[in-house]
Amino acid sequence: MLPCRLKVLMGSLESWSNLLRPCASELMNFNQNRHMRVWKTWPNNWVPFDWKKPEPQPGFFESGDRKEGLDKFDLDQIKPNLKNLEILKNAPESVKKLYTLRFARRRELKILQNSLYESNLPIRRRLLDKNEYERKVIRLTVAIRHIRDVIRNESQNSAGHKNLVSRYINKRYKFLVELYKIDRESCQMLCDKLEIDFKVPLPYYWPYPFLERKRTIRETCETYCKDIKKKKLDEYKEILNQEKIKFAEEKARKLEWIEKTMAEHKITEDMLQDSKPPIHLAAKYVYLE
């Protein structure tokens, strides 16, 4: 058996195809005219815009904060916890300068920012409760913005700061979700005041909206068509408003001409309301009975 198999394998293509079934032997005929399939992108080239995938940002910078860093304070003012000291009132200026915010530590500036946010925002539900979700969100927001400012300006390669910011962002989002479940109005108010873009959590059965080229181009196309429709409607409304002005001017001229004609022929409004013409004009008409 072995020499016969070797003879068949080493033989020509005809001897090999004879061993195959008749229906399968047609597969051995190579089609020389077949072309490779060309995959065409969607949509066609006539679309008047192009979509490019946005450049990925590091996770510790994608937190939804529209504001960076702490607020700018008047650095020449004395620290709030030392304003009422009687010793500093009579002290020289060189000594007072040491107790201003210019020489304050970062932690003191963060505490001052927290106290300003808590005093300005209407978040007090209970007087003695200092661990509400609103206060936690405020503290974490101040810490996130402060640490990200440090990463940008001082230590760009600090892995500890980056890890800490990522943890704070996840923790703040968890608190915002819990606050959204409890009170949506206060959550929305807090996000507006702190300038945070909060995305409502989707249900577990909702498909996660991945960034896809086809879907984003379709959405962009819809907005583009809506803008064109709105632009044409606005242009048509402007044309109608111009025609209104012309119609009002023409109407005023015709009313003036009517009043002038009525004054010449001594016609009053009561005459126009009668079903029959006046007496001095009745001789000109012949009524048929």
CA-wise closest residue to 173 among 200, 146, 209, 204: 200
The distance from CA 94 to its chain's CA centroid, rounded to whole angstroms, is: 50
Residue 282 has pLDDT above 70, yes or no: no
Mean pLDDT for 205-226 is: 78
User: Position of tokens 């609103």?
Assistant: 134
pTM, entire model: 0.55
Q: Could you report the per-residue pLDDT of 243-255, keeping only the tens digit for each?
A: 999 999 999 999 9
Q: Could you report the per-residue pLDDT of 136-169, keeping only the tens digit for each?
A: 898 899 889 888 888 888 888 888 889 999 999 9
Residue 280 has pLDDT above 60, yes or no: no
Q: Could you report the per-residue pLDDT of 50-78, keeping only the tens digit for each?
A: 777 778 878 888 888 888 877 777 777 77
pLDDT score, position 229? 95
pLDDT score, position 174? 92
pLDDT score, position 249? 92
Mean pLDDT taken over the chain? 77
Q: Could you report the per-residue pLDDT of 192-215, keeping only the tens digit for each?
A: 988 899 988 777 666 666 777 778
The CA distance from 194 to 186, in Å, is 12
Q: Are 186 and 134 in contact (CB under 8 A)?
A: yes
CA-wise closest residue to 162 among 60, 57, 13: 60
Q: Could you report the per-residue pLDDT of 79-113, keeping only the tens digit for each?
A: 777 777 777 777 777 777 777 877 777 788 888 88
pLDDT score, position 53? 79
270 compared with 146, residue with greater pLDDT: 146
Q: What percent of the chain has pLDDT over 90?
A: 18
DSSP-assigned states of every residue in 56-108: PPPGGG-S-BS--SPPPP-TTSBPGGGTT-HHHHSS-HHHHHHTBGGG--HHH
